[in-house]
Amino acid sequence: MPLVFGAIAPHGSICIAEWCTPQQRPLAATTRAGFEELAHRFDAARPDVTVLFTPHHVHLEGHMAIVSSGTIRGVLEGGATRVELTTKVDRELMLAIQRAITDAGVPLIGVSYGGNDPASATMPVDWATQIPLHFMGRDRVPAVVLAPARDLSWEMHVTAGRAIAKAAAASGKRVAVIASCDHGHGHDAKGPYGFTPKSKEFDEKVVALVKRGALGELLKFEAPFPSDAKADSFWQMLMLHGAIGDGWRSEFLSYEAPTYFGMLCAAFTPPD
């Protein structure tokens, strides 16, 4: 069974209405509508498992990471309400993906937490994992969580994506892939990363590629550009491109930068 759905999804906490104060809630109204449309399309694709790429979980020098625990749990605090998520890990697919990526020559380490038996352990996860899953799957759809490695080559991220698609096809399961992405983080001089015009430039280029269904052109970017733009998206999008390849239908759903970072919702569906 090949992959059945793909997405670029943001991970700002302001996307979740119940987390926001009444004053914050209008900030991400456009993105929230885009997220709700992504959720509708995710449900329509009927995935058995979600494979998600996050930039904010563990960071391992020279290696990507894959969560090997049997369960993941996320908690968002600091907002109007506490938002929690607990989801099972599809360890069968996780192990198959781990083998496929390693066999493809990409350095990858399995990571767990707490209990010494990974199958019964629960891994705390980051907001960039929790927020997309809050909209797509929640506790209904098991997940596999991977973290890219910015010190590996761009081509290795594409190769890892291809290996994931191969493992998914061999599994016989309906698999969705989500690139959890917030884009340029330098839109506002008052933000924690200051202002850079590269953020707007980067986001505009990414939106244009999504609208044209041309994620492969990410590989044509100049090497410093994603980092100069303070993007938390480029490496996950490379993995998504590797997984879905060319020929998928790309649909732009929303983009906005209501604070200091850009948020994009896009859906990808396989050709008929």
Predicted confidence at residue 150, as pLDDT, reads 97
With contact defined as beta carbons under 8 Å apart, do 180 and 261 qualify?
Answer: no
Per-residue confidence (pLDDT) for residue 201, from 0 to 100: 98
What is the pLDDT averaged over residues 102-118? 97
Instruction: Output phi, psi for 187, to 5 deg.
Output: -80, -20
Q: CA-CA distance, 49 to 90, in Å (whole number)?
A: 7
The structure tokens listed for 134 are 């809050």
DSSP 45: H
| 3-269: CATH topology | Protocatechuate 4,5-dioxygenase; Chain B (3.40.830)
Distance CA 233, CA 184 (A): 8
**Residue found by looking up tokens 């927020």 in the block:** 131
Residue whose pair of structure tokens reads 């969705």 in the numeric block: 176
Least confident of 1-5, 33-37, 121-125, 161-165: 1-5
Instruction: Give the Cα separation of 143 and 71 in Å (integer).
Output: 9
The confidence score (pLDDT) of residue 272 equals: 80
Q: Could you read off the pLDDT of 169-214 as tens digits, one per residue?
A: 999 999 999 999 999 999 999 999 999 999 999 999 999 999 999 9
Place of tokens 């990526």: 101
- Going by DSSP bridges, is the β-strand pair 175-180/49-53 parallel, antiparallel, or unpaired? parallel
Predicted TM-score (pTM) of the model is 0.97
| Phi, psi torsion values for 181, nearest 5 degrees | -140, 120
The Cβ-side half-sphere exposure at 152, using a 13 Å CA radius, reads 25
Domain spans of the chain, in order of start:
3-269
pLDDT at 1 exceeding the cut of 80: no
Question: Where do the H-state alpha helices sit in 104-175?
Answer: 127-135, 154-171
| Residue spans of beta strands (DSSP E) within 12-119 | 49-53, 64-67, 71-76, 83-88, 108-111
Extract the tokens encoding 232: 């938390």
Rounded CA gap, 200 and 250, in Å? 21
Among candidate residues 244, 235, 236, the one with its CA nearest the CA of residue 214: 244
SS3 25: helix
Q: Closest Cα partner for 144 from 64, 216, 59, 83?
A: 64
Instruction: Please give the distance of CA 39 from its chain centroid, rounded to a whole number.
Output: 14
DSSP state of 185: S
**Confidence grade of residue 2 (pLDDT, cut at 50, 70, 90):** confident
Which two three-digit tokens encode residue 257?
């930068």
CA distance 76 to 19: 8
pLDDT at residue 93 greater than cutoff 90: yes
Note the pLDDT tens digit of each residue in 47-78: 999 999 999 999 999 999 999 999 999 999 99
Kindly report the CA angle at 238 between 164 and 269, in degrees rounded to 5? 65
Query: What percent of the chain shows pLDDT beyond 90?
Result: 99
- Residue-averaged pLDDT of the chain: 97
pLDDT interval class at 248 (50, 70, 90): very high
Residue type, 14: I
Token pair recorded at residue 61: 């020098």
